Structure 1
Amino acid sequence: MPALTEVKLSVSSPAFKHGEEIPQKYSCEGENINPPLNIEGLPEDTKSLSIIVEDPDAPNGTFIHWVCFNIDPIKHIAENHQPGMSGHNSAGKTGYRGPCPPSGSHRYFFKVYALNTKPDVQEGIQAEPLKEAMQRHTIGFGELMGRYEKKGNNAGNR
């Protein structure tokens, strides 16, 4: 089977620009809610979206902060909104888990995948099996990277 043509999606947020600091509101030190996201350039045959938020700077390897899939093809994901089915993050829970690095500044990649199908996977799936299920169905991809460094001394991980 030939590889699908992958369109570059534009992923942005009114809360922060690519490469800039993620506002505390969206972290473990704030309201711990997902930031709003805007997605542009969806291919015409997009059937669903998936979002995976990763922190590659975590001390024990990449920490997954959010797995959300089977999202209807939409151009805006509202703040504090679970737009589709939820997978497990690296904390072993479903839903969004905000930035909470143990030390220093970490990078957080909000990865958006446009798919030509709705993956036939169960709620609670982890990121890697979801990526495998999406592999031959990804027709668009884009990401937004933000940084976060804890402001206070309260405990937390990643």
Structure 2
Amino acid sequence: MTRPTPPHPYDFLPALPELKVVSDDVRHGDPLSEAQLASGGNVSPALTWEPGPEGTASYAVTCFDPDAPTPGGVWHWVLADIPPHVHGLPAGGEPGAGRELLNDLGSLGFAGAAPPPGDREHRYIFAVHALGVAELPVDERTPAALVGFHLTVNSLARGTITGLARTAEQSR
């Protein structure tokens, strides 16, 4: 597929203080490991982040693919209502650390990277959102785009780290 590269989606949202986000599993700008691919382990990466600003009542972690061949990209992971004392997640998540919400692939939890055949390399943007509310006003049936709206209006700070994935034929 030949098409332009979409801009970074967070560039169009209100400016926020930046949270430092690090990972042993995702190196910013490098290919994702086999574990984070849908065809591999399909495991969410380990992430750690600095504490949010004063007033942080919870965190949310998301993974968004702006390069998916859709008008609005694809949400691969939405984890909300992470308690304010939690500043990291191990690979595969941590039971009870937050509430898994619906991703755009129709499931709860992390859906690994899977650019479609014939497409170019995709960016997978892992974001940590420091929120001013303890719980988002959503449930497990809420579409990820609407959760994204609630993240935007409740965020006090945000940090991102971006991994890349290629199609199976590009990886050969």
TM-score over 0.5 (shorter chain): yes
Find the partner of 1:30 among 40, 45, 70: 40
Query: Is the Cα–Cα contact under 8 Å of residues 88 and 95 in structure 1 kept in the other structure?
Result: yes
Q: Which amino acid is the alignment partner of residue 77 of structure 1?
A: L
Percent identical across equivalent pairs?
29
TM-score (norm 1): 0.85
CA distance in 1 between counterparts of 2:29 and 2:148 reads 24
Q: Which 5+ residue runs of structure 2 have no aligned equivalent? A: 1-13
For residues 35-75 of structure 1, give each alpha carbon's deviation from its aligned partner in whole angstroms, at most 9, with x where no partner exists.
Answer: 10111142132111112211111112301101110011221
CA distance in 2 between counterparts of 1:21 and 1:92 reads 25
Q: Shift of the alpha carbon at 1:131?
A: 2.5
Aligned residues: 150
Which structure shows the bigger proportion of residues in helix conformation? 2
The aligned counterpart of 2:129 is: 113
Aligned pair in 2 of structure 1 residues 136, 57: CA closer, same or farther (>3 Å)? Answer: closer
Query: Is the Cα–Cα contact under 8 Å of residues 29 and 150 in structure 1 kept in the other structure?
Result: no
Cα root mean square deviation, aligned? 2.1
Q: Shift of the alpha carbon at 1:8?
A: 0.8
Query: Is the Cα–Cα contact under 8 Å of residues 78 and 103 in structure 2 kept in the other structure?
Result: yes
The aligned counterpart of 2:108 is: 94
TM-score (norm 2): 0.79
The aligned counterpart of 1:60 is: 70
Which structure shows the bigger proportion of residues in strand conformation? 1
